[in-house]
A = this chain, B = another copy of it.
Amino acid sequence: MLIALDAMGGDHAPAEIVAGALLARKEHGIESALVGSKEIIEAELAKQGEPATSIQVVHASEAIAMDESPAQAVRAKRDASINVAMALVKRGVAHGFVSAGNTGAVMASALMNLGRIQGIERPALGTVAPFTDRGVLVLDVGANADVKPNYLVQFGQMGSVYAERVMGIKDPRVALLNIGGEEGKGNELAQDVYQRLQHAGVNFVGNIEGGELHRGGVDVVVTDGFTGNVSMKVTEGVADFIFSELRASMTSKLHYRLAALLLRPGLLKLRDRMDPGTYGGVPLLGVNGFVLIGHGNSNARAIKNALKTASDGAQSGMLDSIKTALTRKS
């Protein structure tokens, strides 16, 4: 089981990416192939005190920057690390792909090189929100700003498979993000999707409101990529806001400093739980391969966690299960 790893992608590439690959091997025995400029990667390995032969390196002569126009860059730079890594997956040399690089470019390259699973209308980005120990999978969180009802039905089917196969949740509860609890609530899209999800072969438990996401009553939350993206970013933003306000209030007086000292373990644990790096990345569901996209600011730990998820995911039989789910009706 080999995972292709984009050594050139992310704000902290290549140092944290290389460090993450080494960590994943050490802690989980996961083999990855570092894809990118051989020269840069080998220099980084040397800097981290590793012999150049200790880990597989696959050369790619180009790299796509975080702010490049995705579709264009993927077509123009055929030898970009993302494209080269994707080709490894396509040829079966690698069994999964992890990148902390340009999200749009990873999506475009996956579509171009791997293609969609037959029958899937649109791939979706899922994110694992840390509201429960097992996590809550929310999808789509940004791949599809404009949607049709059937896209969301397929998001529910793919999400259900991912929750079961990769997150280890039996018979996952699938809910529709909406602005009211009862049937008939919401915009036209939500009302339509509600009806369809009842006959989609998933364990559909109805609507869920934004204020209930954190209560842990559901496992998979289906939404369009616009609402999903805003929701997950608001989640990160509010957590950020509260932690920084707390920090500010704590250092304002001496006895607050003492309290901060005492509280540090609990606060750090919570921060850790809210940190996107804990889950390591968001899966791109619906393409012919296991593709995981890390946060742009991924550090070694986030990369290690992403490699673990990709390794588990690639072994899970998820792709076949998605194909089956598409034809299953309740």
Please report A residues at the B interface, Cβ cutoff 8 Å: 131, 142, 145-146, 177, 179, 186-188, 190, 209-215, 225-227, 229-242, 245-246, 249-250, 252, 255-256, 258-259, 262-263, 265-267, 269-270, 273-274
Contact = CB atoms under 8 A, between A and B. Distances in A.
Given A227-B227, A239-B242, A179 B262 contact: no
- Copies of this chain, tallied across the complex: 2
Nearest to A264: B259
Contact of A267 (B212, B230, B246): B246
A237 B146 CA distance: 26
Contact of A262 (B131, B234, B245, B259): B259
A186 B270 contact: no
A73 to B, nearest CB: 16
A84 to B, nearest CB: 27
17 contacts: A142-B179, A145-B179, A146-B187, A179-B226, A210-B230, A210-B231, A213-B237, A214-B237, A230-B231, A231-B234, A246-B270, A249-B263, A249-B266, A250-B263, A250-B266, A255-B262, A258-B262
Given A238-B242, A255-B262, 15 more contacts: A145-B186, A146-B188, A190-B226, A210-B230, A210-B231, A210-B234, A211-B240, A227-B227, A230-B230, A231-B234, A246-B267, A246-B270, A249-B269, A249-B270, A256-B263
A140 to B, nearest CB: 11
Given A142-B179, A245-B270, A270-B249, A233 B211 contact: yes
Contacts of A227: 226-227, 230
Contacts of A145: 179, 186-188, 190
A210 B232 contact: yes
Nearest to A230: B210
**10 closest A-B pairs by CB:** A210-B233, A249-B266, A211-B233, A259-B262, A214-B241, A145-B187, A210-B230, A210-B234, A211-B237, A179-B229
Main secondary structure on A side of the interface with B = helix
B233 A235 contact: no
Contact of A238 (B234, B245, B267): B234
A222 to B, nearest CB: 13
Nearest to A145: B187
B211 A234 contact: yes
Contacts of A231: 210, 230-231, 234
A190 B41 CA distance: 41
A142 B230 CA distance: 16
A177 B230 contact: yes
A266 B260 CA distance: 11
Given A186-B226, A242-B242, A233 B209 contact: yes
Nearest to A262: B259
A95 to B, nearest CB: 31
A259 B270 contact: no
Nearest to A131: B241
Contact of A246 (B177, B226, B266): B266
Contacts of A266: 246, 249-250, 252, 256
Q: Which of A131, A177, A230, A231: most chain B CB closer than 10 A?
A: A230
